[in-house]
Amino acid sequence: MTIEFAFNILMSIVAAAIGLIVRRLFTQVDDMQKLTQQMRVDYQSREQALLENQTITKALDRIEQKLERVNDKLDRKADK
């Protein structure tokens, strides 16, 4: 076995290892991209959350106004 032959074998092993590592890294990047895309589908955006929060706040304000009117009517009725 010559030094050149041993060097070629060593370089082949190193190249194969680097190839496996690079392929594994690309697979992980692809998995992360898929996970990111799935998160965009599963979770609401900040704008959607803000809009939903505003809708709920308006509904609660209307309920509060109605309760205040009922309370005022009860107070007037109790004063009679």
Give the model's pLDDT for residue 37.
93
Are 4 and 26 in a shared domain? yes
Cβ neighbours of residue 52 closer than 8 Å, sequence gap 6 or more: 44
pLDDT in tens, the chain (80 residues): 799 999 999 999 999 999 999 999 999 999 999 999 999 888 888 888 999 999 999 999 999 999 999 999 988 877 76
Are 49 and 61 in a shared domain? yes
Give the model's pLDDT for residue 80.
67
Measured between alpha carbons, how far is residue 43 from residues 8, 24, 37 in Å? 52, 28, 10
Are 15 and 53 in a shared domain? no
Are 29 and 55 in a shared domain? no
Give the model's pLDDT for residue 11.
96
Are 50 and 66 in a shared domain? yes
The Cα–Cα gap between 34 and 28 comes to: 10
Residue 29 in tokens: 């990047």
The Cα–Cα gap between 56 and 15 comes to: 60
**What is the domain range of residue 74?**
44-80
Are 39 and 67 in a shared domain? no
